[in-house]
Structure 1
Amino acid sequence: MTPIPTKQRKFTADHRNKTDLNIYTEDFKGDSIFGIIKFKAPLKWDKIIQITALHLVFFYGIYAYDYDNHIFYTTIWSFTTGGIAGLGVTGGAHRLWTHRSYKANTLLRAILMCCFSLAGQNTLFDWVRDHRVHHKYSETDADPHNSNRGFFFAHVGWLMMHKHPDVIKRGRQIDMSDVLNDPVVQFHQKYFIPLKMLLCFIIPTIIPVYFWNETWEASIIQQCIFRYVSSLHFTWSVNSAAHMWGYRPYDRRINPSENRFVSVIAMGEGWHNYHHVFPWDYKAAELGNYKLNLTTMWLDIFAKLGWAWDMKQPSEELIKRTIVKYGDGTHPIYGDQYHDHQHVEEVPVPKDDDTSNLIIYNRKSE
């Protein structure tokens, strides 16, 4: 391959292995704003402008919205579409396609794909790849939204900057064959833009106008701004707040935490310490009820319909032994006088040079 002259190089984001990683790494230099605010990575100015503009419109919408002529049905519709979109992210992109914590028939996969399109996020391929890398190299430079770089970076800043070379390197090593071989995902990849525009913005906006005579302005503000921006932040909070604040009853050595607030707004995704220890559990939590885990409720309904099966869970004994050996002592189990301190063979302590483990632990001083 003929080397590209330095002056002709253009710093581009990785897209399906098209970027030369050596050139990408060599050109990876931190940007600064007015020479005052310095960053560790090159900035994506197009994303910065888009995200900033979206939030400026959001705040303007709060000011300009016609509250006097508000139609209650429109708000109910916004919560409904927000919940459907959330299920596409939590039950679809996350628990099904990323972690394979259960199996689903073609009908359910198609429904979840449409729900995910309603959320208006990245393609399923990109979402799954980034999340698998996140789990395998959590809180390292290979983590797309490494929370050790601060709340803002983990929440939204990582979308405004080019990925660290380690993220791309490790992302290329992730096995994505199962995702690429799924006809539903193939359809989503092929028609990503039309699906996103149609299901996230156009249809949700049209329905209030034609079914209960909502104004176009109010419908656009509620669906394309209020609901969309809110759902983005609900998803982002799992990467930020749930990696920084909360208890660690299952493994005190890692950043992911049990965050009740995130669990409420993210439909059960805030029980994050548990999830990073047992990522294959379809519940993404140890909870036995649905009060703070609506995603699990829907998955159980689909299982009863026969649309979902092979719902994976760790044994109660494994959970107990993991709590006792690695937890921070905040789990209610300590009130049950459980004192089995056996070594947990099912959850081996990873070696420092072993990158094959699902989780790279962030060891903290004890």
Structure 2
Amino acid sequence: MGVANDSDSDFEEITNINDKMNHVQAVTVVETTLDENSKCVNNQIKSNITKRNVFKDSNNNVQQITKESLNVDSSKQTSTNDEDDQPMEYTLLGFIKFKSPIKWLNTVSIILIHLIFIFGFFTYPLYGKILTTLWGFVVGGICGFGVTGGAHRFWCHRSYKAKLPLRIILMLCYCTAGQNTLYDWVRDHRVHHKYSETDADPHNSNRGFFFAHVGWLMLQKHPEVIKKGRAIDMSDVLADPVIQFHQKYFIPLKILCCFILPTIVPVYFWGESWYMAFMSQAVLRYLFSLNFTWLVNSAAHMWGYKPYDRRINPVENVAVAVVAMGEGWHNYHHVFPWDYKAAELGDYKLNITTFWIDLFAKIGWAYDLKQPSEDLVRKTVQKYGDGCHSVWGHGQSENIHAPVEAIPAPGEENLGY
């Protein structure tokens, strides 16, 4: 999952997006080219086919959908020349090696706030009020739902549909989490699914726990992440007016929802001190929330079991499922990314996000909830699982050399995410 404080050098914040999107009609064109590698099969020429996301401007001219087309400063974008696509090797203090240059602002900020977090973790219990602690859990649940039910299951994977009131709630809950813009979060997560555990994966777990957890936010992105990210279809996200509003007012929304409102409530409603309120909400609650999200990228790709597909890194991790509101059933999720439950389980205590989505479905604000049939899950488990499934896990299958690919939703194109 994508996360906070990643001031991408390749993509800057969208500005004036509403003015631009008022006349944007997002479409997808298919370009067919013939070259020396084209083949003739059954008297038909097989050509290279490329999908390109575009929009029609006010003059009905076809334009490429990019952040540059939305008045984004592209002066800091990474070059796409072939010679620049090869990652350089960087060193710190002459012996610590990195594949990418360090983002010093991110690095210093992340280290500093974690040092403050450690201090607060040991001192806050001595002076803080119990109501403030309970309030932290409430706010943590709000921002967790914004990340898991909103950014992840709704905007990234379109695992269900949401009416405008619910989309606004999801956006505001997500702002409470204090992470990146929804555009950046969705783009990075779609790239992660499509190119998982490769150089194009923003938080490639093959580079170690620390990199997958938080280190990827401290380094410049690998050139493959940038290149593949530009090819991801984001037209559905850009076309959502809720996303447009979020992008335009991202900074004030993040400051208000993540830091100001959670801090002033304990002060004005039960007399908590400003220091304790700020420490509990803007530091402790915030850092717990970030690290719970990061665990999905790190621990849930390393330690656990693989009942659905033993050929991939993502695993079922109960601890992550508890702290991340149901996002720890990661082996299942990478096989069926479009399932609105992000898990086969129906137990709400281990998947609280599903409970909230089901609740909104009862009032009609969430609908068209996607999930695979039991028969499809059974066949997948028996074909690729590691044998530990509680119902159908009876030894490993022999189909270990089949291509690793997420199973598409019935009747839909397999986009890889």
The bucket for the TM-score relative to the shorter chain is: 0.7 to 0.9
**Is 1:321–1:342's contact at 8 Å kept on the other side of the alignment?**
no
What aligned pairs does 1:266-345 form with structure 2 within 5 A after superposition? 266-334=324-392
Determine the structure 1 residue equivalent to 2:29: none
Change (3 A) 1:239 1:221: same
TM superposition shift of 1:33: 1.3
Root-mean-square deviation (Å): 2.3
TM superposition shift of 1:26: 5.4
Q: Deviations over 1:299-338 (max 9, x none)?
A: 0000001000000000100000000000000001247x89
1:14 maps to 2:7:
no
TM-score, length of structure 2 as denominator length: 0.77
Q: State the alpha-carbon separation in 1 of the partners of residues 81 and 336 from structure 2.
A: 35
1:52 maps to 2:111:
yes
**Is 2:305–2:316's contact at 8 Å kept on the other side of the alignment?**
yes
Is the helix fraction higher in 1 or 2?
1
Report SS of the residue matched to 1:302. helix
**Is 2:86–2:223's contact at 8 Å kept on the other side of the alignment?**
no
Aligned length in residues: 338
1:194 corresponds to which of 232, 235, 252:
252
TM superposition shift of 1:288: 2.0
Runs of 5+ unmatched residues, structure 1: 1-11, 361-366
Deviates more, 1:173-182 or 1:58-67: 58-67
Look up the equivalent residue of 1:32 and give its one-letter code. Answer: T
**Is 1:350–1:357's contact at 8 Å kept on the other side of the alignment?**
no
Look up the equivalent residue of 2:156 and give its one-letter code. Answer: T
Look up the equivalent residue of 1:13 and give its one-letter code. Answer: S
Determine the structure 2 residue equivalent to 1:32: 91
Look up the equivalent residue of 1:207 and give its one-letter code. Answer: V
Determine the structure 2 residue equivalent to 1:6: none
Report SS of the residue matched to 2:349. coil
Change (3 A) 1:38 1:308: same
**Is 1:138–1:359's contact at 8 Å kept on the other side of the alignment?**
no
**Is 2:85–2:223's contact at 8 Å kept on the other side of the alignment?**
no
Is the strand fraction higher in 1 or 2?
2
Q: State the alpha-carbon separation in 2 of the partners of residues 329 and 27 from structure 1.
A: 40
Q: State the alpha-carbon separation in 1 of the partners of residues 189 and 199 from structure 2.
A: 14
Report SS of the residue matched to 1:32. strand
2:149 corresponds to which of 86, 91, 104:
91
Q: State the alpha-carbon separation in 2 of the partners of residues 105 and 286 from structure 1.
A: 25
Runs of 5+ unmatched residues, structure 2: 1-7, 12-66, 69-73, 406-412
Report SS of the residue matched to 2:313. coil
TM superposition shift of 1:188: 0.4
Q: State the alpha-carbon separation in 2 of the partners of residues 132 and 90 from structure 1.
A: 14
**Is 1:28–1:42's contact at 8 Å kept on the other side of the alignment?**
no
TM superposition shift of 1:23: 8.0
Q: Deviations over 1:224-252 (max 9, x none)?
A: 11000000000000000000000000000
Q: State the alpha-carbon separation in 1 of the partners of residues 395 and 93 from structure 2.
A: 58
Look up the equivalent residue of 2:343 and give its one-letter code. Answer: A
Q: State the alpha-carbon separation in 2 of the partners of residues 270 and 319 from structure 1.
A: 18
Q: State the alpha-carbon separation in 2 of the partners of residues 53 and 238 from structure 1.
A: 23
What aligned pairs does 1:100-119 form with structure 2 within 5 A after superposition? 100-119=158-177
TM superposition shift of 1:21: 1.9
TM superposition shift of 1:63: 3.8
**Is 1:276–1:359's contact at 8 Å kept on the other side of the alignment?**
no
1:139 corresponds to which of 191, 197, 209:
197
